């Protein structure tokens, strides 16, 4: 398995990964001990507001969403406005060339809704074509990695069900900013510069994102008039301007001229799907995720396994807890590799995988003294045949948990013509194995990494949150929730706490688990004695200064009638409230 395949992306960028052993005895940066905040366990204060909060990975996106809330918009309206803005200002991670997923709490009906706005493979593309080309994997760049972008249809589905303000109003700020320009921020700027080589291979990508032949510098103004034109077309013509108008025609013409397989039919027949979220109860809290083709249920399976142990007594940074977390992840991801796929036309064992009974069997497979190196999928008894996350809560307590992505940095790296955005490369997550549930077939949705989440308690929304970053997402969901529920942290502290990430599990494309049981990345806040104990149990470790995932979260404080927002210091983001 290549490193690029094994280390799935975080926020559109490859995660820091050390090929050589790290000196864990090296002193930590002074900043680890010298935080100016009154609470030394967190980087900044929790954002507390009365009427609404928008939490995103870029301040301009948070401001765009907050302006919509102040204008009387719903959480859905604000999320669409913020997403349009962040597709402009963080283009390597998201945009209208990608897909989106939403979990939405509607205050009027007192009900949760799930939206799967992921696209499907071209009708004309099949496994035989890859065999004829001598390819055993789908390339992660170029037109062969394309699936239909679902983002714009997702906007209109969400708006049609829960929106209040007109769509042109929601896109107004993004159009103006695209035309006038915005200053490129630090973390986003570094990722942009790292994508120069891949963008340079495609003339339209280079002309769009490498003005003057280079990536913009941090603090430099960047303009994208072509994206402004696409947004104007969508504002005027609705979702059909994208799927049945000039934008689709431009993409298809480019595809036909550059070895792709898109046809106008692929766009004209695209649909999103409303579905019911699925849940498990973790120590009295109902944790909600979307069912496959995403990977959200991996977090539920992990939580079910952890619940069988007294995690609070183990301690947040203890070797016992982290070992348990890593081993639970291995088990859940082994199931992910075998059973997660588009459910259309085939039965997936979703209910079985997230059941307490199955967790009891899975938990028995964990040896608390030794890291597992060979982890086959469990048996759920199937007998019946770069990412951004944002969340918004409004004055009525509608809650929108919203995630949107191009997958790799700038997706496929291809801007198809003068549309002003890159197309995603989600199609590279199909398997080419004829027997795999996630095998490539015409007009099929690939396995997806992006997952929104929500937690309810006593029938009310309690926490809307998510964690960006490919394979890190279920692992991040679990770590944030355990931080809050077991270790009593607030929404900012739960984000700032040092994380781990296990790399090297088997993939949904059919690649086996990395030899030796994978590698565990640990952030520098993990104590040295814990690191040494994990090594004694057989874990291979690498060290990172703090790069695993990117989080946003809003907690609803019903007692005081307020909202508590947190955002990840690992990103450029902000939580803004009023």
Residues identified as active-site: 387
Instruction: Give the residue among 473, 555, 570, 402 at the shortest CA–CA distance from 62.
Output: 402
In contact, 48 and 577? CB cutoff 8 Å: yes
Output phi, psi for 492, to 5 deg: -90, -45
User: 10 Å Cβ neighbour count for 71?
Assistant: 14
CA 38 to chain centre: 31
278 - beta bridge partners? Answer: 289
Instruction: Give the residue among 122, 117, 179, 175 at the shortest CA–CA distance from 150.
Output: 117
Token pair for 36: 């100016």
Task: Render 315-342 in DSSP notation, one character per residue.
Answer: -TT-HHHHHHHHHHHHHHHHHHHHH-S-
- What is the C-alpha to C-alpha distance for residues 178 and 89, in angstroms, rounded to an integer? 9
Strand order in the sheet with 574-577: 273-275, 111-117, 99-106, 399-405, 387-393, 53-56, 574-577
- What is the C-alpha to C-alpha distance for residues 186 and 44, in angstroms, rounded to an integer? 18
Instruction: Give the residue among 479, 478, 494 at the shortest CA–CA distance from 553.
Output: 494
- What is the C-alpha to C-alpha distance for residues 411 and 110, in angstroms, rounded to an integer? 36
Beta strands in 324-470 (DSSP E): 387-393, 399-405, 453-457, 460-468
Supply angle C-alpha 177, 180, 185, rounded to 5.
65
Tell whether the torsion through CA atoms of 449, 507, 500 and 489 is positive or negative. positive
- What is the C-alpha to C-alpha distance for residues 574 and 185, in angstroms, rounded to an integer? 12
CA torsion angle 92 82 567 104 (round to 10): -110
Residue with tokens 């992921």: 118
In contact, 220 and 186? CB cutoff 8 Å: no
Beta carbons within 8 Å of 23's beta carbon, 6+ residues apart: none
Task: Render 32-44 in DSSP notation, one character per residue.
Answer: GT---SSSTT-SS
In contact, 293 and 446? CB cutoff 8 Å: yes
């Amino acid at each position: 398995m290549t490193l690029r395949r094994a280390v799935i992306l975080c926020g559109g960028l490859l995660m820091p990964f050390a090929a050589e052993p790290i000196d864990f005895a090296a002193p930590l940066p002074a900043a680890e001990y010298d935080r100016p905040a009154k609470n030394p366990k967190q980087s900044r204060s929790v954002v507390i507001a009365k009427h609404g909060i928008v939490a995103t990975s870029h301040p301009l996106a948070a401001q765009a969403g907050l302006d919509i809330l102040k204008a009387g918009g719903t959480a859905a309206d604000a999320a669409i406005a913020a997403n349009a803005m962040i597709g402009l200002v963080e283009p390597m991670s998201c945009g209208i060339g990608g897909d989106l997923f939403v979990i939405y709490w509607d205050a009027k009906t007192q009900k949760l809704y799930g939206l799967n706005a992921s696209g499907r493979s071209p009708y004309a593309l099949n496994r035989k074509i890859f065999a004829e080309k001598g390819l055993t994997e789908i390339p992660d760049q170029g037109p062969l990695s394309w699936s239909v972008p679902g983002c714009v249809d997702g906007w209109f589905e969400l708006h049609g069900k829960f929106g209040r303000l007109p769509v042109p109003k929601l896109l107004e700020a993004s159009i103006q900013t695209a035309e006038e320009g915005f200053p490129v921020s630090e973390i986003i700027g570094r990722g942009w510069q790292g994508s120069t080589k891949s963008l340079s291979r495609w003339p339209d990508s280079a002309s769009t994102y490498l003005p003057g032949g280079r990536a913009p510098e941090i603090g430099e103004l960047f303009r994208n008039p072509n994206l402004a034109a696409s947004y104007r077309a969508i504002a005027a013509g609705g979702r059909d301007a994208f799927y049945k108008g000039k934008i689709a025609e431009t993409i298809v013409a480019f595809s036909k001229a550059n070895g792709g397989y898109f046809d106008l039919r692929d766009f004209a027949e695209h649909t999103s799907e409303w579905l019911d979220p699925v849940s498990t109860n973790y120590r009295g809290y109902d944790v909600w995720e979307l069912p496959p083709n995403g990977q959200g249920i991996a977090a539920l399976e992990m939580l079910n396994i952890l619940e069988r142990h007294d995690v609070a007594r183990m301690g947040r940074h203890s070797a016992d807890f982290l070992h348990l977390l890593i081993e639970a992840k291995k088990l859940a991801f082994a199931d992910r590799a075998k059973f997660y796929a588009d459910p259309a036309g085939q039965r997936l064992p979703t209910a079985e995988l997230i059941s307490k009974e199955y967790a009891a069997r899975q938990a028995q497979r964990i040896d608390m003294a030794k890291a597992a190196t060979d982890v086959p999928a469990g048996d759920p008894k199937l007998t019946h045949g770069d990412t951004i996350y944002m969340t918004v809560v409004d004055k009525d307590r509608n809650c929108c948990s919203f995630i949107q992505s191009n997958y790799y940095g700038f997706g496929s790296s291809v801007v198809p013509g003068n549309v002003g955005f890159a197309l995603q490369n989600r199609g590279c997550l199909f398997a080419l194995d004829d027997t795999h549930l996630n095998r490539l077939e015409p007009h099929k949705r690939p396995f997806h990494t992006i997952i929104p989440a929500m937690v309810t308690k006593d029938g009310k929304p309690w926490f809307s949150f998510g964690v960006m970053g490919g394979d890190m997402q279920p692992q991040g969901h679990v770590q944030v929730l355990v931080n809050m529920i077991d270790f009593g942290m607030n929404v900012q502290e739960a984000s700032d706490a040092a994380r781990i990430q296990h790399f090297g599990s088997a993939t949904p494309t059919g690649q086996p688990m990395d030899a030796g049981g994978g590698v565990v990345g640990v952030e520098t806040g993990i104590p040295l004695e814990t690191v040494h104990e994990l090594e004694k149990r057989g874990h291979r470790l690498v060290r990172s200064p703090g790069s695993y995932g990117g989080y946003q979260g809003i907690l609803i404080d019903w007692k005081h009638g307020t909202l508590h927002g947190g955002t990840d210091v690992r990103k450029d983001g902000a939580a803004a409230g009023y």
